[in-house]
Amino acid sequence: MHIQFKRMEAKLRSVDLIVEVHDARVALTGRNPEFYSRIYAIRPHILVLNKMDLIAEKHRGIQHILWTDCKRRAKIALRDLQKVMLNCLRQDNRFNRTVRPEYQVMVIGIPNVGKSSLVNSMRNSNLGLKASAVAEGARPGVTTRVQTRVRILDNPPIYVLDTPGILYPNTRNAEDILKIALCDLMLESKTRPNYAADYLLYWLNKNRDFSYVDYFQLPNGPCDDLPILLKEICKIKSLRTEVAYPTGKLERWDLDKALSLFLQMYRHNKLTDHFLDEDILFREKF
């Protein structure tokens, strides 16, 4: 983290605007506080909450925050972002950068929130290009260093720097870590999938969201025990695997596959709502 921050700070002298991309499902969780003191205090800052298709409409009423869905190349959201970016760029004093006709924007955020997708979407939408300028993928850690700048607009000329995702290493709250893991914003090697699945089941039952019962057609209704739930999913989906023993092969339920299906249900937008920070909003209101 320290090395990547140093590289980003070294680029700030030529940067006119910071665009922070974060996952709308955890809009208040996981944002790196180091960005505030080391990056935002120096340049104008826009917050973009990506993956808006994964949360209910009632959670999108916050003003002065841009909601996007970069994977689907939502043109209206991209136009809104471009408009706000141009307003910020034209209003800010550029000081030592006044002699340069082009603008430079740095895109930052934690891993796997859609930074590279946003860069490619803006470039493709404005310049009519289909090929991706920066690598993107459905897992954290695809971007490993500050990238070469990418042109996203001709008039005025705007270039974007894509950066690697940086998680805050001093997170002490176990629930925050589980939320980040559930949203696939950290490498699975850093946590165990069964912890994320257990938290998901707890969160669904706590919020009385029993859409998982209908999704898997559970005959006995809601369940609060993950091993029992996984065994039920195995029975419904006929998930079996063979295990080799000295005496031969035995068949057993494929609980790992059931665990993967349960997590995919959340990550692939199969539930009623996917917003994990509603309890934080409730505490702030009262």
* CATH code (residue 44): 3.40.50.300
SS3 82: helix
What torsion, rounded to 10 degrees, do the Cα atoms 69, 75, 78, 80 define? -120
Say whether both 197 and 140 belong to one domain.
no
d(CA 181, CA 149): 30
Q: Is the pTM of this model over 0.85?
A: no
Q: Which domain holds residue 201?
A: 192-285
Say whether both 205 and 262 belong to one domain.
yes
Cis previous bond, 227, omega within 30: no
pLDDT in tens, 156-179: 899 998 888 888 766 668 888 899
Residue 264: per-residue pLDDT: 94
pLDDT in tens, 24-63: 888 888 787 878 778 877 788 888 888 766 565 554 444 4
Is 265 within the bounds of a domain?
Answer: yes
If phi over 0 gives left and psi between -120 and 50 gives alpha, with beta otherwise, what is residue 17? beta
Say whether both 273 and 152 belong to one domain.
no
Residue 62: per-residue pLDDT: 44
Q: Is residue 153's pLDDT more than 90?
A: no
Q: Which contacts qualify for 202-206: CB closer than 8 Å, 24 or more apart?
A: 203/276, 204/271
d(CA 142, CA 281): 31
Is 196 within the bounds of a domain?
Answer: yes
Is 264 within the bounds of a domain?
Answer: yes
Residue 72 phi, psi dihedral angles, 5° rounding: -90, 5
Strand order in the sheet with 158-162: 66-67, 45-50, 17-23, 103-108, 158-162, 150-153
**Total domain count for the chain?**
2
Say whether both 96 and 208 belong to one domain.
no
d(CA 14, CA 19): 15
